[in-house]
Amino acid sequence: MFGLISLIRLHFIPKLVSRADLVKQYGRWAVVTGGTAGIGKAYAEELASRGINIILISRSKEKLEAVAKDIAETYKVETAVIVADFSKGREVYSSIKEALRDQDIGILVNNVGVFYSYPEYFTRLSEDKVWEIVNVNIAAANMMVHIVLPGMVQRKRGAIVNVSSGSCCKPTPQMAAYSASKFLLAQYIPEWFWVWGMQILNSALRRDAVSHRIY
């Protein structure tokens, strides 16, 4: 049932909605984590092309400012940046929450992620790598939703996109921690749908082989 409803809401209904309606449908601002390259940047550019103002969150101030400037000049929208290294864990979220306070956040794209330097069995991963995957791939999405979802529910509109992976749904013995983290991102979507599905659009992008620098 969830799959059928998602198919209709994500692929059929949007065909009936004007490109100019995104701001009215969701809100004035979108937040994209890991938005300075690859999939995150592509999301930011597409949303900006449809009139949405963009807030980019990543760890490199130089890259953030360059991408934000390019988007603002190209698509004539407002942009803002938040410098945050999600691998640091809990300490980064108070400043993010403060920066997003009172903003009309209509769309959240949870894109930030880290991968292995090379495929490796779980027992051979360092503790630092395990915590990096937990903090960046899992905690970041959880906390970003925790920050912006109350406002979406209050306004009765909004959209959340979790960038997952095709590896979440198949055996990946040398990417176990990464794949498990992406499974969680995908699984959250139906869970959120049954609570807020009539108000908040939820979607998980399960990408497979792509060429870009993660995080």
Residue 90 has pLDDT above 90, yes or no: yes
How confident is the model at residue 210, as a pLDDT?
Answer: 44
Q: What whole-number distance in Å separates Cα of residue 58 and Cα of residue 29?
A: 17
How confident is the model at residue 121, as a pLDDT?
Answer: 82
**Domains of the chain from N-terminus onward:** 24-207 (3.40.50.720)
How confident is the model at residue 193, as a pLDDT?
Answer: 65
CA distances from 174 to 16, 19, 133, 213 (A): 43, 42, 14, 19
What's the CA angle centered on 33, arms 115 and 198, to 5 degrees?
110
Residue 79 has pLDDT above 80, yes or no: yes
Q: What whole-number distance in Å separates Cα of residue 106 and Cα of residue 27?
A: 4
Please list the active-site residues. Answer: 178
Mean pLDDT of 66-91: 98
How confident is the model at residue 151, as a pLDDT?
Answer: 94
How confident is the model at residue 65, as a pLDDT?
Answer: 98
CB-based contact 65:82 (threshold 8 Å): no
Phi, psi for 199 (deg, rounded to 5):
-110, -40
Tell me the residue length of the chain.
215
Share of the chain above pLDDT 90, in %: 54
Residue 70 has pLDDT above 80, yes or no: yes
